[in-house]
Amino acid sequence: MAVEPPAGRARPAVVVVAPHFAHLRVAPATTRGAKAIICSAEATATTMATDAAPLISLWSCLACRSNWYTFQGKGNVLCAAPLLAANLQGKRRAHGTSAAPFNADLVMHDEAAKREQESAQRAVEEERRRKEKERKEREKRERKEREKAEAAAAAQRRREEEERRAAEEEKRREEARRAAEEERQKETAEEMLRRQEAENEERRRRAEQRRKEIKEKAERAKKAAAAGLPPSAAAALAAEAVAREAKPPTAHITVAVLGHQSAGKSMLVGALLLATGAISERDLAKRRKEAERLKDESQREDGLRTPKGAELALLDVPGGRRSLPQAVAAAAEADVALLVVSAKGRELEASLKEAGGGPSTLAEQLRAARGLGTAAKEGRLAVAVTKMDEVGWAQDRFDEVIAILTPVLTNAGFSQAATVFVPVDGLTNQVDAKKALWHTGVSLLQCFDDMASSSEPRPGALQILLFESAPAAKGAIRVRGRVERGTLRPGERCQLAPGSAPCTVEVLRMAASRNVVPLAEAKSGQNVELQLSGGPFPEWPVVGGASTIGWCGAVLSSVDSLVEVSDSVKAYLEVLELPRPMTAGFKAVLHVHAATVDAEIEHILDATDWATGVTIEKPKIVKAGQRLTVLLKFSRQVPVCSFSDAQRSRLSLLMLRLDETTVAVGHILEVK
């Protein structure tokens, strides 16, 4: 709707547009020549159609004196609302302006204005109701969202509370389990201690009884000699045993008794015990009755004395392929190996034929003995050809066994010159080869004496290679090991590697299965049992793995000269057999002395052919029958040392195995 001046009237000097008439459009002709346009904020958009006069806020004119506009000159006022025009005229009079009398003309009739006003009010009311409805809907949505959020928060709090209660319950159960496990371990340790004490007491009793019997027989032998009568064979052996035990041992050697199944190893060990006076014939009969029950277990016999006074420890290993880990462990602990083979029928020939076409169990045992024994450099080996009584002590069968075994021994790295063959029969206790009249060599016990005399003590800083552990009273721990270097005495302050746990040797005694003998000192090569205090000691298993440290393979060393611990070495390897090609990156199981780890060949520095002596620098691939210099990376740190002719330490010896096959043996050249 357009606002125009009445007909016959002059054009207004001031145009006023009220708020409720914001929808009115002021015609451009109306404002032409006007001095000002007074309008509300709502009407601003409609009055902006012209720029003929300045815009003045209506509310400023009506409410604020400081903003009152004093019109300059004379003119009429055109207003769409009479009340506003009267109010404006009144304010002009109050300010005493000298302008002409204020005249206003009503452009629209009151009825039309009223309808327009009501329509505007209805629009405003509808807008208000619409906004109110939107507000209520918004509040409703917000309330629902808030209730939903509160419900979710409450559910989350319930879940958290349930999880907290479950965690607390699990913690209580775990604490209860831990307490029960600690109690069980405590009871187990106490039970183990009681059992060990009972076993030690039983061994003491039997040893005392055996010594008493030996002394009685020795006395009978003396009385018979005094009376000019010949003593019995048992009395003569008893007298010799008493005389030997009265003297300290001349040397200590540990023998790994290896051989194929049904070779007669346990039978031969019993015969050796009887021949050295370690047990009586009655005890031997009991031992052989239990042999069937213990056929799948390794047996250890300590404290045997040879004719020249050397002390023997025999490690009897089962002959099956499943027992190869036991053979490897025995080889890592032994000084020399005793290979037992049968002369009966074709038992030896059958044992050398593996079903899968790979190396036989006997060959694997020999490679383990060659790779991990301290005497690996000399290749010392005793071969006992048993069951000779069943072949009538025939020399041709004895020679045939030697011919069959020679290539097997050569392939394993044992020289023929350092290997001694002895005919024996365990069932009839014949270990002196007296029935083999054609045999010109030494007997089995004499062979052990020769090996013991050639073993030299290894002086230097103390090193004790450990094989097993058991808990002891008052936080102490009991371990069994072998003195590799130096001399050990009670009260010695040591450090465990790896782990660097300090400890003190409280109890030192000989590791004997038949008798408990306290020691004032232990020298290199001697097997000992120690009780250690100090710690805290790690909770290691007996046998470790690729990434798990075990007591078997740990080392005790003097605090003044600690053993090296490393996971990277430079090594010398002799390749025996390869199931798959060997290149840089070749991975296999590595036996480092008594420890077992995973290893990787990082670099092959050179390879020398055994037959031709030709050396190839940095070969891409190697084959069996070559000597290598390589860099090895272990899966974890291991106590090691470098090999030298002066030391020949067991801690430097290596054996690489893959898929139950020994692929290489060697030693450490340099510790990285």
Torsion angle of the four alpha carbons 662, 664, 666, 668, in this order, in degrees rounded to the nearest 10 = -100
* 175 has a pLDDT exceeding 90: no
Q: What is the pLDDT of residues 177-217, one digit of tens each?
A: 878 777 776 666 667 667 667 766 766 676 667 667 666 66
Q: What pLDDT does residue 229 have?
A: 52
| Distance in angstroms between the alpha carbons of the first and the last residue of the chain | 102
Q: Rounded CA gap, 278 and 272, in Å?
A: 8
Q: Rounded CA gap, 285 and 289, in Å?
A: 6
Window from 67-71, 341-345, 420-424, 660-664 with minimum mean pLDDT? 67-71
* φ, ψ for residue 586, nearest 5 deg: -65, 130
Please return the burial class of 346, using the count of CB atoms within 10 Å of its CB with bins 0-12, 13-18 and 19+: exposed
Q: What is the pLDDT of residues 451-461, one digit of tens each?
A: 887 776 777 88
- How far apart, in Å, are the Cα atoms of 43 and each of 40, 55, 56, 61? 5, 11, 11, 15
- Give the number of residues written for the chain: 672
What one-character DSSP code corresponds to residue 464? E
What would the mean pLDDT of 594-616 be, rounded to a whole number? Answer: 89
Q: What is the pLDDT of residues 50-82, one digit of tens each?
A: 444 444 444 444 443 333 333 333 334 444 444
Window from 504-513, 576-585, 649-658 with minimum mean pLDDT? 504-513
Q: What is the pLDDT of residues 98-109, one digit of tens each?
A: 333 333 333 344
Q: What pLDDT does residue 46 have?
A: 42
Q: Rounded CA gap, 557 and 484, in Å?
A: 10
- How far apart, in Å, are the Cα atoms of 537 and each of 528, 548, 593? 19, 15, 22
The mean of the pLDDT values for the chain is: 75
Residue-by-residue DSSP string for 273-293: HHHTTSS-HHHHHHHHHHTTT
- How far apart, in Å, are the Cα atoms of 498 and each of 13, 55, 149, 207? 108, 95, 57, 38
What would the mean pLDDT of 5-11 be, rounded to a whole number? Answer: 47
What would the mean pLDDT of 307-331 be, rounded to a whole number? Answer: 84
